[in-house]
Copies of this chain bind each other. A is one copy, B any other.
Amino acid sequence: MGSLRPRSGGATEPDARTRILDAAEKLFAGGGYEATPTAEIARLAQVPKGLVFHYFPRKIDVLVALIDERTLVEEVPEVEAVPGDAAKSLSRLARRLPLRASPAMRRILFREADTHGSVRDRLGRLNGEIVRRARFALELALPTRRGDAARLEVAAVTFAAVLLHQENLCQLTGHHIDPDAVAELIAHALG
């Protein structure tokens, strides 16, 4: 499990709070937030039950802390787009979503979107950021023509939809999408 917080480095055993979050991350990703008892978090974290509530007074605080500390939507100004090559720019975006989070945290992010506002918000910001980057990449790649703004926006939104759809439902339904091919398709549509 990936933490965004610096851990006490080397071979040291992570501290109790970290172990609790590690356990919750695994369990929430597996069975879901509602179906995971705090007692099981404690057991897996190898901490006494009471300690979970010492760090996280209510169960929901564990989820909030996970989202807060272990997912990061990268909203940096500089986006690595390839000027003049829309397809390549989108492919890059696909290969490296502006989301720093472990696979488990990604599952939680999508799965528990209904559970708490903070999760939903994070997901919304991720979507927004992907759209923003896709838009930027396309703007940078394409010769500026008038009247293209709307179409470019649609392309960006579409690409974001494909990426998030893949992250979320494709894993469940077993379908597969090749983002590179989609990138090329979209680039072609705008070209």
List residues of A whose CB falls within 8 A of some B CB. 32, 34-35, 110-111, 113-115, 120, 123-124, 127-128, 131, 150-151, 154-155, 157-158, 161-162, 164-166, 168-169, 172-175, 177-178, 181-182, 184-186, 188-189
The answer to whether B166 touches A161 (Cβ under 8 A) is yes
Q: How far is the CA of A168 from the CA of B178 in the complex (A)?
A: 20
Please judge, given known A-B contacts A175-B131, A189-B188, whether A164 and B158 are in contact too, CB under 8 Å. no
**Cβ–Cβ < 8 Å partners of A35 in chain B:** 34
Q: Given known contacts A157-B182, A186-B189, what 14 new A-B pairs fall within 8 Å (CB)?
A: A32-B34, A32-B114, A32-B115, A34-B34, A113-B169, A124-B175, A128-B175, A131-B175, A151-B181, A154-B184, A161-B161, A164-B165, A168-B169, A189-B189
Q: How far is the CA of A79 from the CA of B23 in the complex (A)?
A: 48
**Cβ–Cβ < 8 Å partners of A114 in chain B:** 32, 111, 172
Say whether chain A's binding surface is mostly helix, strand, loop, or mixed.
helix
CB nearest neighbor in B for A30: B114
The answer to whether A173 touches B120 (Cβ under 8 A) is yes
Copies in the complex: 4
CB nearest neighbor in B for A155: B185
Q: How far is the CA of A185 from the CA of B134 in the complex (A)?
A: 15
Please judge, given known A-B contacts A162-B158, A186-B185, whether A175 and B127 are in contact too, CB under 8 Å. yes
Q: Which 7 residue pairs spanning A and B have beta carbons closest together?
A: A189-B189, A34-B34, A124-B173, A161-B165, A154-B181, A165-B165, A161-B162
CB contact between A169 and one of B127, B175, B185 (< 8 Å): that residue: B127
Q: How far is the CA of A114 from the CA of B124 in the complex (A)?
A: 21
**Cβ–Cβ < 8 Å partners of A127 in chain B:** 169, 173, 175
Q: List 10 A-B contacts (CB under 8 A).
A: A32-B115, A113-B172, A123-B172, A123-B173, A127-B169, A151-B181, A154-B182, A154-B184, A161-B165, A162-B165
